[in-house]
């Protein structure tokens, strides 16, 4: 057996266990000095002996020939308060083992640091300052995660440039056979293997243990994917290469990101884990008073779903950035980012209590971008002639609303960096404090990937520069989050997954939002852009054949189940005006929380969560269900005993169905206490949303 070969009788296990003793890691150097680890939960092996190490571009990789120089142990226990979050307090409690290794032949030093929590394990490679290892190039990281069986997995294809996939649920042994259909509509340019998948990867063992593999604090390194050896069920690390095929350029002292394995015996345990945040550094921003959760509407769905344009003119050949005289070009008249329409959104936002209005298509360059992959497209400063940046901002501010900036970089990254300071200054000048940025298309410089080290550094550069300007960042198509929002809480959101926009590009699987909180949301909040009320997209754009695979009640629930301090009401005002009674929930729901309780969950099937709004005694509950629907039995025991609450339940009507009857909902009001048990049914692709306000 492979296991015996790795852990031969001479090998000595060095163990470290979690504070409650249930999770443990055993580190071993095998006969020829190969570092390995294994992990167990509740005395059951959950990661079989797995190799550790790095292949370097130069001679003498860091794979074997190691001897143990020393070990150090410590315990850490603190409770910290996030600037915004799912809970007011987060406990960071772990036992740590630092293994100091020396490669005898080269004299090189490599340390491996393990942190063992009650909800999982994080470990990373560290390279102290040393003469024998100064600059080095990682050719391949060889960290393994050896699974103990043919687990069920919720996965998306490994890809260096996009995560905008639906999830596939399958056994590990089925991944190879299903890969082709998993790639579906938005075919990848950079699929690296027929068994390659992305993290955070959610897994479930045959005996009901939930595992989740991801990474934390991805800084100055490339993003990790997993390549499955499906004969042995071993996941091998697959980093994202740079244009020359290398994975990372390092200079000691330095370390890799944390590799993480979460573990729980129930699905809610995975959802409530703070492992990823805890493995990140504390907040580096001293004054965080300018960082505020945001609820917003936007000039957006009109283009994404409604067939209108970001550009001002169709007169493509005559448009050249910086040289085009827009008074000479003919507007096509389908440009929603115009003064009159933006005022309409500002009025709507002010009337219904939204903080901000996103306006996409406000700036020149869009004509030049579509169909071209040019280095220099946008300058992020020049408004189209029908967007009066000063007047619109003044108008918004006079109504207590802000505009939200939009920077589509077109993935021309050097161009963006060239203009970044001026673009942020412009935002400061007009009073914008949040930017939605985006990275559509192949990265320029060509050959770089969205998830490579160079881009990882770029995304963080934008966030840290933004902090100097008191600007919050919500980056779309950026690398998947790994908890960096703890350190830089002005990283208020990311997309980095298949969002609601795909409901108008063919639709998302009804189960999609029952998986995302297990996977994509582990690393940080998602700008999922929920709140679509018209599901038949042909009614919005006669050319469209798409259908939003959700009931209306579930669209409300997503504000609670898809945790984010940045939430959009993504549909157009006209749709909300049709269903004002349901829209009330979106107006009321909080975006920042003192407490969160995951009540019921199973990936792919349902998630129900209750959250307590920041600084209040009010609760909001959301349930999202997959294709089968779900019957909840919900004790409200999280409420204070002895108090009465006014409860409003926005639920699927009995005949609701995401495909055939998505807009059928009921709104019921009742008085509840901590003794109340609600029985609520979520339709197929449905859900429910509840607001519970303390009776004063």
What residue 408 binds from Ca ion, ligand NOJ, none (CB within 5 to 8 A, per partner kind)? ligand NOJ
| DSSP assignment string, 218-233 | --SSPPEEEEEETTTT
Q: What is the DSSP string of 542-603?
A: TT---B--S-HHHHHHHHHHS--SEEE--S-HHHHHHTHHHHHHHHH--SSEEEEEEEEEET
Q: Which two tokens stand for residue 352?
A: 């219904």
Question: Which residue lies nearer to ligand NOJ by CB, 501 or 571?
Answer: 501
What mask of x and - would describe binding to Ca ion in positions 457 to 496, judged by CB under 5 A?
-------------------x--------------------
- Please return the burial class of 16, using the count of CB atoms within 10 Å of its CB with bins 0-12, 13-18 and 19+: buried
Token pair recorded at residue 176? 């190879």
> What would the x/- binding string for ligand NOJ be over residues 395 to 414, using CB under 6 A?
-------------x------
For the chain, first and last CA: distance in Å?
Answer: 66
Enumerate residues 6+ apart whose C-beta is below 8 A from 693: 618, 645, 646, 647
Residue nearest to ligand NOJ according to CB distances in the complex: 408
H helices of 233-365, where? 267-271, 275-278, 301-304, 339-352
Q: Residue 518 binds what, of Ca ion, ligand NOJ, none (CB under 5 to 8 Å, by partner type)?
A: none
Does 360 sit near ligand NOJ (CB under 6 A)?
yes
**Nearer Cβ to ligand NOJ, position 486 or 498?**
498
Binding mask 288-317 for ligand NOJ (x = CB under 6 A): ------------x---x-------------
By CB under 6 A, is residue 161 in contact with ligand NOJ? no
Q: Which residue among 70, 422, 440, 633 contacts ligand NOJ (CB under 6 A)?
A: 440
Q: Please state the closest distance from residue 294 (CB atom) to Ca ion, in A.
A: 19
How many whole angstroms separate alpha carbon 158 and alpha carbon 237?
11
> Is 503 considered catalytic here?
no
495 is a site residue for ligand NOJ (CB under 6 A): yes
Shortest Cβ distance from residue 29 to ligand NOJ (Å)?
46
Name which of 424, 454, 453, 450 is nearest 439 in CA terms. Answer: 450
Task: Check binding of 448 to ligand NOJ (CB under 6 A).
Answer: no
**Choice among 164, 215, 495, 501 that is catalytic:** 501
Q: Shortest approach of ligand NOJ to residue 187 CB, angstroms?
A: 17
Beta bridge partners of 124: 113
Q: Are 69 and 102 in contact (CB under 8 A)?
A: yes
27 binds, options ligand NOJ, Ca ion, none, Cβ within 5 to 8 A by partner type: none
Helix axes 580-588, 552-561, angle to 10 degrees: 0
**Is 141 a binder of ligand NOJ (CB under 6 A)?**
no
Residue 203 beta carbon to Ca ion: minimum distance, rounded to whole angstroms: 26
Structure tokens at 468: 């100097």
Q: Are strands 566-568 and 294-299 parallel, antiparallel or unpaired?
A: parallel
Number of residues that bind ligand NOJ (CB under 6 A): 9
- Listing DSSP states for 432-479 in one string gives --EEEEE--SS-BSTT--TTSHHHHHHHHHHHHHHHHTT-EEEESS-P
Q: Which is nearer to ligand NOJ, 115 or 476 (CB)?
A: 476
| 233 interacts with, out of Ca ion, ligand NOJ, none, CB within 5 to 8 A per kind | none
Q: Residue 652 touches which of Ca ion, ligand NOJ, none (CB < 5 to 8 A by kind)?
A: none
| CB 564 within 8 Å of CB 493 | yes
Which residues contact ligand NOJ (rule: CB under 6 A)? 300, 304, 360, 408, 438, 440, 476, 495, 501
Residues known to be catalytic: 501
Which residues contact Ca ion (rule: CB under 5 A)? 476
């Amino acid at each position: 057996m492979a296991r015996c070969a790795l852990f031969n009788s001479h090998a000595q296990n060095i163990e470290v266990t979690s504070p409650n003793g249930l999770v443990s890691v055993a580190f071993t150097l095998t006969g020829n000095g190969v570092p390995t680890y294994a992990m167990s939960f509740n005395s059951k092996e959950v990661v079989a002996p797995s190799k550790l190490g790095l292949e370097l571009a130069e001679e003498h990789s860091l794979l074997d020939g190691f001897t143990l120089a020393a070990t150090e142990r410590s315990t850490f226990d603190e409770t910290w308060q996030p600037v915004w979050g799912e809970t007011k307090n987060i406990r960071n409690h772990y036992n740590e083992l630092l293994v100091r290794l020396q490669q005898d032949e080269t004299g090189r030093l490599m340390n491996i640091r393990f942190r063992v929590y009650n909800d999982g394990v994080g470990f990373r490679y560290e390279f102290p300052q040393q003469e024998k290892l100064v600059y080095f190039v990682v050719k391949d990281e060889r960290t393994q995660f050896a699974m103990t069986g043919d687990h069920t997995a919720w996965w998306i294809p490994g890809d260096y440039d996009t995560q905008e996939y639906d999830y596939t649920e399958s056994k590990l042994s089925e991944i190879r056979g299903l890969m082709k259909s998993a790639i579906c509509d938005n075919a990848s340019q950079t699929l690296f293997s027929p068994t390659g998948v992305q993290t955070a990867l959610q897994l479930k063992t045959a005996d009901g243990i939930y595992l989740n593999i991801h990474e934390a604090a991805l800084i100055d390194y490339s993003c990790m994917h997993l390549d499955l050896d499906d004969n042995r069920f071993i996941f091998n690390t697959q980093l994202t290469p740079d244009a020359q095929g290398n994975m990372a350029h390092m200079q000691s002292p330095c370390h890799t990101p944390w590799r993480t394995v979460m573990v729980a015996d129930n699905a809610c345990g995975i959802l409530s884990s703070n492992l990823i945040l805890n493995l990140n550094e504390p907040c580096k921003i001293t004054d965080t008073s300018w960082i505020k959760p945001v609820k917003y509407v936007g000039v957006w769905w009109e283009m994404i779903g409604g067939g209108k344009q970001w550009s001002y003119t169709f007169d493509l050949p005559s448009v050249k950035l910086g040289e085009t005289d827009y008074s000479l070009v003919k507007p096509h008249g389908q440009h929603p980012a115009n003064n009159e329409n933006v005022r309409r959104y500002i009025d709507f936002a002010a009337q219904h209590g939204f903080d901000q209005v996103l306006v996409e298509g406000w700036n020149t360059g869009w004509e030049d971008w579509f169909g071209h992959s040019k280095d220099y497209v946008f300058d992020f400063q020049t408004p189209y002639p029908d967007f009066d940046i000063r007047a619109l901002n003044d108008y918004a501010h006079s109504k207590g609303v802000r505009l939200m900036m939009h920077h589509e970089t077109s993935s021309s990254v050097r161009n963006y960096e060239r203009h970044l300071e001026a673009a942020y200054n412009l935002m400061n000048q007009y009073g914008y404090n949040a930017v939605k940025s985006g990275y559509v298309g192949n990265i320029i410089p060509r050959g770089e990937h969205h998830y490579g080290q160079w881009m990882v550094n770029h995304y963080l550069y934008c966030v840290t520069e933004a902090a100097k300007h008191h600007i919050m960042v919500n980056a779309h198509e950026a690398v998947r989050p790994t908890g960096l929002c703890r350190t830089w809480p002005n990283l208020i959101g990311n997309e980095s997954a298949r969002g609601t926009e795909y409901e108008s590009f063919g639709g998302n699987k009804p189960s999609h939002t029952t998986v995302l909180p297990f996977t994509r949301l582990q690393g940080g909040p998602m700008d999922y852009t929920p709140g679509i009320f018209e599901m038949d997209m042909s009614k919005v754009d006669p050319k469209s054949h798409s259908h939003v695979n959700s009931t209306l009640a579930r669209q409300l629930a997503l504000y609670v189940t898809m945790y984010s301090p940045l939430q959009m009401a993504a549909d157009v005002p006209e749709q909300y005006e049709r269903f004002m009674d349901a829209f009330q929930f979106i107006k009321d729901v909080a975006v920042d929380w003192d407490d969160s309780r995951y009540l019921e969950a199973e990936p792919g099937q349902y998630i129900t969560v209750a959250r307590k709004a920041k600084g209040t005694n009010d609760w909001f509950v959301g349930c999202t269900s997959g294709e089968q629907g779900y019957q909840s039995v919900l004790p409200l025991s999280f409420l204070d005993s002895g108090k009465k609450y006014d409860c409003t339940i926005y639920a699927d009507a009995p005949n609701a169905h995401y495909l055939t009857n998505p807009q059928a909902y009921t709104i019921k009001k009742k008085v509840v206490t901590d003794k109340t048990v609600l029985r609520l049914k979520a339709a197929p692709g449905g859900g429910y949303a509840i607001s519970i306000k303390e009776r004063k």
